[in-house]
Structure 1
């Protein structure tokens, strides 16, 4: 009403000045609303409000021009300016929308980068804030060989009449069986438990054939991380029972010895920490030819004639399969 009253008798110059002031104000407020308004409906309300004012202004000018029969150029200018204002507002909204989408994509990329990823080289990029990490596990594995392995071997030599070669084969088989059982628990049985959670209540998971199950890659490190925080809580007696079932008949007589049981329990604690790394550490007894860079000879073997590996006394440890060598394997050659 105020606008109509003041423009009824205004001259063309005054109309132009009024129009320029209104356009400047409307553009300023529209830009501010688009940039700072967090609610889309408030922007739309302001857009409709500004459009109504401009349309009213154009109608007033048209009526005035029709009475006077002149000033057609002024009306066309007003119409073009109204269209321009609408276009400017639309461009501002579009730029704001693209900026918001860009921020969303950036946030998604950041969140993806924070997810655990598979490490291609555990030894060189391991997280030093974790106690359960490959370099520490390699030290535990070396201690297992230097202490518990020696105690178990001497016990079997003192109280049995088994050959040295059989004792060495048995102790190496214990380590491998422990590693295989831990890997089966971590990969297949945890995957089965995630698929059928009620198995945890029924206590029927141990002994089930779960070889077909496997943890998804995007879950493996997240689960492994949680297990690494509580790596010492594993029930080693259960794994020892699984190991005993895997042993061949010729080794059954070794298992009941007290120090052998102690060695087997210690094996489970070390190999469990190996398999919950991501990717898992790797124990290997696959080599058939002696390699001084990867193997050390059993003391009674001839170094000059060492060529073909008869059996492993102690498995070779890598930070992951086909990865970096951490601990040399001990081999018996002929």
Structure 2
């Protein structure tokens, strides 16, 4: 050994011969080299005939060769002793860590081929099954129940053997086990677990009687037990694996269910919000799209406007008869009142919306908190459509806050009639309140609703107006305006005219 120097690693046996061959006796070198060539030929032969076994053996011995050569068996050493001695000598000079797994693989391939050339071991003899022969020979020597139980056990073991052979992984493991010969079967039969079985007892008694074929049957029985054990272990492993997979899938399903529920809630919330926003945007400026949950939508306003004419208008019209005898004058006065209420509400609603936009912009931009004077009303300010539709919706929702002040402001700016009659005053107040409330709701719609009042001499549009008392084609006096959904829109509530 080269003391104090690190050994260089050799990758292949051929490289060992090349680098270390000149250091040994030529005769021993030739013997070792011939053995190496023979082993290589055997491996090539197996690779051509049985590639699966060849590849499996190679990977098996490479993966389990970390402690070579200390773990080499006597059989592995003696099989090719000159080659083994040559490698041991080279190991004093070179690092043969990667060489020994190759050596073991070549030796085991050689032993496998050698065993195949001989008569197969009794435990793997498929052509001659001796267990049925032993069972038949022992039928009269053991109890009937024991013999039947042994026969049943043999049938079950044979079925397990065939099932095991259909599994490629188990078949390869079985093939490696068979390499150890009858010793492996005997070690398996020493397991106390099987000693009380009927077939075990039957074959054991046949051995004691030196019955012909009993030794072979004994090894075959051990092989069958091994196959059943492989199958059982495989089933348990699969069952554990499936159980683990089921648990993982169950946990995954529960997690997905939780995520799905969370996502469903988020989707529902977002859908609701989107629906609200879409509804606002769709209804903004579109009179044909109304919120059916809105109690002040155009159709409901039309009903209120019609009720105002049928109730408050009629009541005040009759009350004023004692002070204004002329029917046409009373009609004109009442019609003029609702027109003025509409104009007043329209102007105030436009001013209110402008103020809402400016104030909203001031608050959001902190202009007022910085002490800026409100000299410029931001008339050129244009709010985005999405924001504006929210302001319009807020104004509609809060219309009840505007109505009392709007009514008071209109009454202060408009004098209907001078009278001291309390009943008439009460009817006037009810009529004015009804006109302002209804007209305010008309003006805060998006788009605003329209009142149509024809002039004297206009041709009567029968789609918009009904006749009052008489018939004709030309307007004498407008009794009650027609209510339209919007500018040039459909008729929500017909008006009334007094024809010539």
TM score, norm. by length of structure 1: 0.53
The alignment status of 1:129 with 2:293, answered yes or no, reads yes
Q: Which residue of 1 aligns with 2:438?
A: 270
Partner of 2:281, secondary structure, is coil
Mark the CA change 1:265 to 1:215 in structure 2 (over 3 Å): closer, same or farther.
farther
The alignment status of 1:290 with 2:460, answered yes or no, reads yes
Mark the CA change 1:115 to 1:315 in structure 2 (over 3 Å): closer, same or farther.
closer
Superposed displacement of residue 181, structure 1: 1.4
Distance 1:168 1:269 in 2: 20
Q: Which residue of 2 aligns with 1:325?
A: 491
Partner of 2:451, secondary structure, is strand
- 8 Å CA contact retained: 1:234, 1:269: no
Distance 2:425 2:380 in 1: 35
- 8 Å CA contact retained: 1:132, 1:229: no
The alignment status of 1:152 with 2:316, answered yes or no, reads yes
- 8 Å CA contact retained: 1:175, 1:267: yes
Superposed displacement of residue 195, structure 1: 3.4
Q: Which residue of 2 aligns with 1:180?
A: 343
Mark the CA change 1:214 to 1:330 in structure 2 (over 3 Å): closer, same or farther.
farther
Mark the runs of 5 or more structure 2 residues left unpaired by the alignment.
Answer: 1-273, 363-376
Q: Which residue of 2 aligns with 1:14?
A: none
Superposed displacement of residue 282, structure 1: 1.0
Mark the CA change 1:311 to 1:161 in structure 2 (over 3 Å): closer, same or farther.
closer
- 8 Å CA contact retained: 1:187, 1:214: no
Q: Which residue of 2 aligns with 1:315?
A: 481
Distance 1:254 1:307 in 2: 37
Partner of 1:331, secondary structure, is strand
Distance 1:254 1:274 in 2: 30
Which of 399, 413, 417 is the equivalent residue of 1:231? 399
Superposed displacement of residue 233, structure 1: 2.7
Mark the CA change 1:313 to 1:214 in structure 2 (over 3 Å): closer, same or farther.
farther
Distance 1:215 1:140 in 2: 34
Instruction: List structure 1 segments (4+ residues) > 2 angstroms apart after TM superposition.
Output: 110-122, 192-198, 212-224, 230-247, 251-258
Partner of 1:330, secondary structure, is strand
Partner of 1:234, secondary structure, is helix
Distance 1:166 1:213 in 2: 45
Mark the CA change 1:129 to 1:238 in structure 2 (over 3 Å): closer, same or farther.
closer
TM score, norm. by length of structure 2: 0.37
- 8 Å CA contact retained: 2:453, 2:482: yes
In the comparison of the two structures, how many residue pairs are matched? 207
Superposed displacement of residue 244, structure 1: 5.7
> 5 Å matches for 1:29-68?
none
Q: Which residue of 2 aligns with 1:116?
A: 281
Distance 1:232 1:317 in 2: 22
